[in-house]
Amino acid sequence: MTSLTILGATGSVGSQALDLVARNPGRWQVAALTANSDAQGLATAARASGARFAAIADPAAYADLKAALAGSGIEAAAGQEAVCEAAQRPGDIVLTAIVGAAGLAPTLAAVERGATLAIANKETLVCAGPVVTAAALASGATLLPVDSEHNAIFQVFDHAQPDRVAKIILTCSGGPFRTRSRAELAGVSVADACKHPVWSMGAKISIDSATLMNKGLELIEAHHLFPVGLDRLDVIIHPQSVVHSMVEYIDGSVLAQLGTPDMRIPIAYAMAWPERIATPAARLDLAAIGRLEFEAPDLVRFPCLALAWEAMRAGGSAPCILNAANEIAVAAFIAGQVAFLDIDAIVAATLARVASGPVGSLGEVIETDRRARAEARAQITARA
Ligand code: NAD
Ligand code: MG
């Protein structure tokens, strides 16, 4: 059996991974599960999956977790260090399904011990890509992408001849506001923004999909996972989300991975790699879908994508500043403190005001992230 640790086990990706574990008895032994503050949800998942260790990030939730696990024999722990300990404990695969830069330290802990990582937590690669990839090179850790686009690219990428890749083309559904004008976006609610036309996901990534920041973060993620050069990365809008991404080769061939929009397909691919396993995902019926559409992204209506592109080109800590500002702006939008169109304005202002620097170490990333968050909060206060 393969031992599996899930960081962020109570979320959208984490619970879909646990669904696959339950459907495949004998394939994975769950070593550890973690969550932020939902003690009941974590305890239920730990009992159901037979986990050995359950770690909750919020120390205030420790008593609840301990009570909910009483008599189960499952070890409980709390705090940021406990989440890192879950990542450090021996185990074959670590699925990183924490949302945001909060996943950075535990991801790095797993990378440094040379684990195989199934990476969903894209923000960690965005804010600390060079640190994570250098640590993986040093430890021999394997990085397998779970994000559907990067998983698609991984499946069709010629790993033996990366120099034969002409272009990586990320597909993007366009989100719930694909056809709206900028003026129509001014008053949209959190519920509107979370109503993704194709995927059902956590709140933060749903908002990111509505601003197209998600695709911007994914460009930077692709840049670190498939280092073919910035000029070979492209984005195309594809509302049906059937083609999950494409790789164009120098001979003009374009290889794509297709499937129904069900995250259990890429999650299963990464967790079972290099094997393929059956999943309960609906089969692709192209005749029923009828048409696949494609269009160029609109960087004027969706400036977050342009900001991410600029931050990626600027390099250094610019992507870290972009990500931190976006996390603060999205949280403020969800909390009703700012409007939807303030998100890109806050990110742009933060990028303009926070000096970019190197991202050679975890300490440097954490310091840049802290400064960017403080500036983004100041921008929100200034707007209130
Ligand atoms: P979610 O909000 O549903 O779940 C997040 C998980 O992280 C929860 O288990 C939560 O308890 C934990 N968490 C949150 N804050 C934490 C903190 N400070 N410390 C420790 N744990 C914390 O999010 P999700 O939609 O499952 O997304 C998870 C990651 O996967 C994100 O980076 C997202 O971009 C990426 N992703 C998600 C999907 C999807 O379909 N949901 C698809 C592709 C990529
Ligand atoms: Mg994606």
pLDDT in tens, 229-281: 999 999 999 999 999 999 999 999 999 999 999 999 999 999 999 999 999 99
Mean pLDDT estimate for the chain: 97
24 CA from centroid of ligand 2 (Å)? 25
Which ligand is located closest to the Cα atom of residue 119?
A: 1
Q: How confident is the model at residue 351 (pLDDT cuts 50, 70, 90)?
A: very high
> For residue 346, is it within any domain?
no
Q: How confident is the model at residue 200 (pLDDT cuts 50, 70, 90)?
A: confident
For ligand 1, pick from 13, 94, 206 the residue to mutate: most ligand atoms within 8 Å of CB: 13
Burial annotation 113-144 (CB, 10 A radius, 16+ → b, else e): bebbbbbbbbbbbbbbbbbbbebbeeeebebb
Which ligand is located closest to the Cα atom of residue 170?
A: 2
| Closest-lying ligand 1 atom to the alpha carbon of residue 204 | 2
For ligand 1, pick from 201, 213, 245 the residue to mutate: most ligand atoms within 8 Å of CB: 201
- 1-42 pLDDT per residue, tens: 999 999 999 999 999 999 999 999 999 999 999 999 999 999
Tell me: pLDDT of 358 over 90. Answer: no
Which runs of E-coded beta strand occur in the chain? 2-7, 28-35, 53-56, 75-78, 93-96, 116-119, 142-145, 165-172, 233-237, 243-249, 254-258
Instruction: Output the residue whose Cα is nearest ligand 1's atom 43.
Output: 147
Residue 233: the pLDDT is 98
Number of domains into which the chain is organized: 1
Question: What's the mean pLDDT in 88-103?
Answer: 97
Residue 199: the pLDDT is 84
From CA 271, how far away is CA 316, in angstroms rounded? 31
CB 355 within 8 A of CB 320: no
> For residue 212, is it within any domain?
no
205 CA from centroid of ligand 2 (Å)? 9
From CA 376, how far away is CA 384, in angstroms rounded? 13
Residue 169: the pLDDT is 98
Cβ neighbours, 10 Å, residue 197: 15
> For residue 91, is it within any domain?
yes
22 CA from centroid of ligand 2 (Å)? 24
| Closest-lying ligand 1 atom to the alpha carbon of residue 214 | 34
Which ligand is located closest to the Cα atom of residue 201?
A: 1
| Closest-lying ligand 1 atom to the alpha carbon of residue 124 | 32
For ligand 1, pick from 12, 214, 221 the residue to mutate: most ligand atoms within 8 Å of CB: 12
160 CA from centroid of ligand 1 (Å)? 32
Residue 384: the pLDDT is 82
CATH value at residue 13: 3.40.50.720
Q: Specify the residue for token string 């890109």.
A: 344
Residue 53: the pLDDT is 98
> For residue 238, is it within any domain?
no
> For residue 66, is it within any domain?
yes
248 CA from centroid of ligand 1 (Å)? 31
Instruction: Output the residue whose Cα is nearest ligand 1's atom 15.
Output: 36
> For residue 97, is it within any domain?
yes
13 CA from centroid of ligand 1 (Å)? 7
pTM over 0.85: yes
40 CA from centroid of ligand 1 (Å)? 17
Nearest residue to 120 (alpha-carbon basis) of 95, 84, 88, 155 = 95
Helix/strand/coil percentages in the chain, nearest 5: 50, 15, 35
Residue 167: the pLDDT is 98
> For residue 7, is it within any domain?
yes
Domain of residue 103, residue span: 2-145
> For residue 181, is it within any domain?
no
Position with higher pLDDT, 195 vs 46: 46
Residue 177: the pLDDT is 98
Residue 198: the pLDDT is 86
10 CA from centroid of ligand 1 (Å)? 8
52 CA from centroid of ligand 1 (Å)? 22
Instruction: Output the residue whose Cα is nearest ligand 1's atom 21.
Output: 36
From CA 335, how far away is CA 207, in angstroms rounded? 12
Pocket of ligand 1 (CB under 6 A): 8-14, 35-36, 38, 57, 83, 97-99, 102, 120-123, 147, 199, 201-202, 204-205, 263
Tell me: pLDDT of 333 over 90. Answer: yes
